[in-house]
A and B are shown apart, each in its own frame.
Chain A
């Protein structure tokens, strides 16, 4: 028995060491530096909570929070609706099911940056071209250059790419549902809609929870989609918090200040995830 324990420890420890070296230790360093005026290099002094106070007074940071939440909430909802329906479709008895599953998973394998540049090309050249040809006013200019609409483009890219992974999770969830339940429902004369609301949705609820939490967390940390499409512009309209932390921290020489921002943001994400888990788990079927 004792021997077996060592075997398990041996499996866990390398991962633990790597995780600590590359993740926990830098994170602790970041927290430490958030109490200093460190620029990323050179000398530094302790400044207490000054950086934290400044984050709350920084309108640029606040508007980044505003944009990030707006984007994350819309994207999370869309991703979950779309991927659940795609998963149901792919789970049913259709032709080329395996091929289609592979096709739908493809976006997840591609690099976000490359996909981003392709989408940028589409938004810049193809869509305005179509808009002009059909005389549709709002399509005839590049929406990436419009501060009120640029975020929609980012949502489209983010959703297109993330649906793949969430579909996969929902497919796993759907395969756990016993087919006999549906047969029983058929005998009772339930329609497709009733079967979805009364059977499928409640039974994949645990997967719904995990998908909501994972998607929300990923979108709150959106970075590469934005770099590829707008670079945070036009103006500062699509500057997400991750982008702001990166830009200010490394380009602007505000390493310590943005570390404080990152610590606050970390706390925000943890709190949101916990709330989501609590609320969503309560409505799962036990």
Chain B
């Protein structure tokens, strides 16, 4: 029996050594510092690779590994449960960011001169996601996005459509396209999240700004305040195609690039993908005018990429050096040019003519934030919205949104 115990101990020590071996491996053998850059965007992989190459040439002692897995946010949270956070994270400014920042796993940039190089309004936007209970700047806004209506310039010109500035004009434009036998809006609703650009666009100009706050305190309901939004969503989906729920994002980008559909409600992140499918397509953009009053139609914009550094990384200095490199005006320019994004870095502007229609929004600051970034992540709003667009039952849907929200925050 004694021998048996000994054997057991030997085996378990062996196993734990083996496990410890898996955890190590931070330093490469040649003395280089290895950093992991985690990105949630598959679209920016090539751009990041180019930037990393440039950085590594300037800093030969640092080696940066880019990691951009599918379902990145889930992967990140899974890694958080294992206490295995990447050194540098380039992630979206959404509910997940807020949650991670609240968990206290990000480096606090307060007092750093890097903060002065980015636009304060987006720093505030990130701060709002973290909530009032936690002071500090846990991420730097890097690239910002625009949730807009992308349109096919040639088709709009052929149909004689004026760029709409309010809801009635937009519906008239959709009607014109429909009568001409075109697909007014190309939807890609096979993937639930693609319902959200429309949802955010419509709700951004119609839902009260403090809705989420009041909802959490039990003072607001979807039934009372989202009725018009739901109604307008149903109007939009009327102007889709026969196979709204059978086409996904990738196929939709290719279809729109090749002349299917006049309007495409998506973020600016879709533009490089559309151009990849057909470099010759002429595109334009405008803010989704969901409000009946032209004056009150703002562009939905948020922090597309926030840069964060792990609080526990062993190579904070090197990680911050890379952040500094990214925030540099020249690098920031390269990034937004390749990504067709907008920069949060002061003095860096997107000059691409595709964005002429929404440039004024950036210049005047007529921007509003993504409403769903303030919804609790656990409620899975995108699937509920997708389901609503299929079943078209407004009362049921709004009640479900209320009950799911309450259920999640009461757990």
Residue numbers of A with Cβ under 8 A of B are: 6, 9-10, 13-14, 17-18, 21, 37, 39-42, 50-51, 54, 57-58, 60, 124-125, 128, 141-147, 231-237, 239, 246-248, 250-255, 257
> What residue in chain A is nearest B4 (Cβ atoms)?
A9
Bound-complex Cα distance A60 to B405 (A): 12
Total number of B residues with any Cβ neighbor in A under 8 Å: 48
**A13–B190 CB distance below 8 A:** no
* Chain B residues with CB below 8 A from A146, complex form: 245-246
| In the complex, residue of chain B having the shortest beta-carbon distance to the beta carbon of A38 | B81
- With beta carbons under 8 angstroms apart, the residue of A145, A231, A246, A251 that contacts B246 is A145
The answer to whether A141 and B243 touch across the interface, beta carbons within 8 angstroms, is: yes
How distant is the Cα of A255 from the Cα of B80 in the complex, in angstroms?
Answer: 12
Q: Give the nearest-CB partner of A239 in chain B.
A: B383
From residue A6, how far is it (CB to closest CB) to chain B in Å?
Answer: 7
- Does B116 belong to the interface (CB within 8 Å)? no
**What sequence of 0s and 1s flags, for each residue 1-26 of chain B, a beta carbon within 8 Å of any chain A beta carbon?**
00110011001100100010000000
Fill in one digit per residue for B369-411: 1 if any A CB lies within 8 Å of its CB, else 0.
Answer: 0000000111110011011101100000000000010011001
Q: Which of B28-36, B99-107, B324-332, B357-365 contacts A (4 or more CB under 8 A)?
A: B99-107
Kindly report which residue of chain B lies nearest to residue A147, judged by CB atoms.
B390
Closest to A227 in B: B71
- B248 within 8 A of partner (CB): yes
Q: How far, in whole Å, are A147 and B99 apart by their CA atoms in the complex?
A: 32
Complex: A10 Cα to B6 Cα, angstroms: 11
- The residue among B19, B248, B404 with the most chain A CB atoms within 10 A of its own CB is B248
Contact B384–A235 (Cβ < 8 Å): yes
Given contacts A13-B8, A145-B245, A255-B81, contact A231 B73 (CB under 8 A): no
In the assembled complex, B251 has its CB within 8 A of some CB on chain A: yes
User: Can you identify 20 A-B contacts, CB atoms within 8 angstroms?
Assistant: A10-B7, A17-B15, A39-B103, A40-B81, A51-B411, A60-B404, A124-B190, A128-B243, A145-B244, A145-B245, A146-B245, A147-B390, A231-B191, A232-B383, A235-B192, A236-B380, A239-B383, A250-B77, A252-B408, A254-B408
Q: Decide if A235 touches B383 in the complex (CB within 8 Å).
A: yes
Known: A145-B189, A145-B246, A250-B78. A233 touches B411 (CB 8 A): no
Complex Cα distance A255/B380, Å? 15
Complex CA distance for A248 and B376, rounded to whole angstroms: 11
Extra 6 A-B pairs, beta carbons < 8 Å, given A39-B99, A234-B192, A235-B390: A6-B4, A60-B404, A145-B245, A234-B390, A251-B378, A252-B408
Query: Which applies to chain B's interface (DSSP): helix, strand, loop or mixed?
Result: helix
**Is B242 in the interface zone, CB < 8 Å from A?**
yes
Interchain CB contact under 8 A, A254 and B378: yes
Interface of A is mostly: helix
Q: Does B320 contact A (CB under 8 A)?
A: no
Chain A residue numbers with a CB within 8 Å of B383 are 232-233, 235-236, 239
Specify which chain B residues have a CB less than 8 angstroms from the CB of A41 in the assembled complex.
77, 80-81, 103, 105
Q: What is the bound-complex CA distance between A27 and B404, given in angstroms?
A: 28
Residues of A within 8 A of B3 (CB): 6
Given contacts A21-B19, A40-B80, A252-B377, contact A9 B7 (CB under 8 A): yes
Determine if B247 is an interface residue (Cβ-Cβ < 8 Å).
Answer: yes
Q: In angstroms, how far is the closest chain A Cβ from the Cβ of B140?
A: 22
Interface string of B223-251 (1 = CB under 8 A from A): 00000000000000000001111111001
The CA-CA distance from A57 to B379 in the complex, in Å, is 15
Tell me the bound Cα distance from A125 to B78 in angstroms. 34
B12 contacts across to A, CB distance below 8 A? 17
Instruction: Say yes or no for B74: interface residue by CB 8 A criterion.
Output: yes
Question: Are A141 and B390 within 8 A (Cβ)?
Answer: no
Mark out the residues of chain B between 81 and 105 whose CB falls within 8 Å of any chain A CB in the assembled complex.
81, 96, 99, 102-105
A42 adjacent to B104 (CB under 8 Å): yes
Q: Does B189 contact A248, Cβ atoms closer than 8 Å?
A: no
Asked if A128 meets B246 with Cβ closer than 8 Å, knowing A9-B7, A54-B411, the reply is yes
Do the beta carbons of A142 and B245 come within 8 Å of each other? yes
CB atoms of A14 and B246 under 8 A apart: no
Closest residue of chain A to B400 (Cβ to Cβ) is A59
Contact A253 B99 (CB under 8 A): yes
Residues from chain B with a CB closer than 8 A to the CB of A37 are: 411
Indicate if the CB atoms of A13 and B242 lie closer than 8 Å. no
With the chains together, A86 CA to B129 CA distance in Å?
57
The CA-CA distance from A239 to B387 in the complex, in Å, is 12
Q: With the chains together, A86 CA to B59 CA distance in Å?
A: 62
Q: Which of A231, A232, A251 contacts B377 (CB 8 A)?
A: A251
Docked pose: A21 CA to B17 CA in angstroms: 13
Q: Report yes or no: A21 in contact with B15, Cβ–Cβ below 8 A.
A: yes
- B386 near A18 with CB under 8 A, answer no
Contact B77 A40 (CB under 8 A): yes
- State how many angstroms separate the Cβ of B104 from the closest Cβ of chain A: 7
The reply to whether A248 and B378 form a contact with Cβ atoms under 8 Å apart is yes
Contact B248 A124 (CB under 8 A): yes
Q: How far is the CA of A204 from the CA of B78 in the complex (A)?
A: 44
Given the complex, which residues of A lie within 8 Å of B73, measured CB to CB?
251
What is the CA–CA distance of A142 and B187 in the complex, to the nearest angstrom?
A: 14
B387 touches A253 (CB 8 A): no
Q: How far is the CA of A42 from the CA of B11 in the complex (A)?
A: 32
Residues from chain B with Cβ under 8 Å of A232 in the complex? 192, 383
Q: In the complex the two chains form, what is the Cα distance from A64 to B380 in whole Å?
A: 14
Question: Within 8 Å CB of A253, what residues of B?
Answer: 77, 99, 377-378
Kindly state the separation between the CA atoms of A79 and B35 in the bound complex, as whole angstroms: 48
Cα of A50 to Cα of B411 in the assembled complex, Å = 8
CB-CB nearest in chain A for B388: A235
Q: Which residue of B lies closest to A237 (CB)?
A: B387
Q: State which residues 38-89 of B face A: CB under 8 Å.
A: 73-74, 77-78, 80-81
Task: Say yes or no: A257 contacts B411, CB within 8 Å.
Answer: yes
Contact between chains at A247 and B242 (CB < 8 Å)? no
Chain B contacts for A39, CB-based, 8 A:
99, 103
A23 to chain B, nearest CB (A): 13
Interface residue ranges of B294-311 to A (CB < 8 Å): none
Report yes or no: A124 in contact with B15, Cβ–Cβ below 8 A. Answer: no
B243 & A142 in contact (Cβ 8 Å cutoff): yes
**Nearest A residue to B104, CB-CB:** A42
On whether the beta carbons of A233 and B386 are closer than 8 Å, the reply is yes
Among candidates A21, A50, A231, A235, residue contacting B387 with C-beta atoms closer than 8 Å: A235
Return A61 CB to nearest CB of chain B, in Å.
10
Closest residue of chain A to B191 (Cβ to Cβ) is A231
Is the Cβ of A234 less than 8 Å from the Cβ of B387? yes
